[in-house]
Amino acid sequence: MPTARMEALRAADANSADALHYAHRPLVEQLDAGARQLELDIWYDPRGGLYADGSTDPAMLQPGFKVQHMAEFDNRSNCLTLV
């Protein structure tokens, strides 16, 4: 989650911010380390733009599957689309 968004959340609700503040290693690193089971949160966006608010990535305006832990909240992750 971008720093500014986390700071805004922390100002509004520190407990929720703490619960959401975590990260995983990039998928390639996880696989190289031996992980063979992955969980991704996939959201379908048939027309594009459904989850684009707050994102500067043009991929969020395209139709397809988006990868977000919480739809419309973490749309600046390092893996936005399934493909």
22 and 59 in a single domain? The answer is no
Q: Report yes or no: 65 and 82 within 8 Å, Cβ to Cβ.
A: yes
Same domain, 20 and 45: no
pLDDT per residue over 33-79, tens digit each? 999 998 888 999 999 999 888 888 899 999 999 988 777 666 666 67
Determine the pLDDT at residue 72. 67
- If we measure between CA atoms, which residue out of 50, 49, 43, 46 comes closest to residue 66? 43
Q: In which band, very low, low, confident or very high, does the pLDDT at 80 lie, cut at 50, 70 and 90?
A: confident
Return the pLDDT at 36.
93
Residues 47, 63 within the same domain: yes
Give yes or no for a contact between 59 and 78, defined as CB atoms under 8 angstroms apart. Answer: no
Q: Is the full-model pTM beyond 0.85?
A: no
**Quick one: 46 and 30 in the same domain?**
no
Judgement on whether residues 46 and 75 belong to the same structural domain of the protein: yes
Q: What is the pLDDT of residue 58?
A: 92
- Structural domain boundaries, residue 69: 40-83
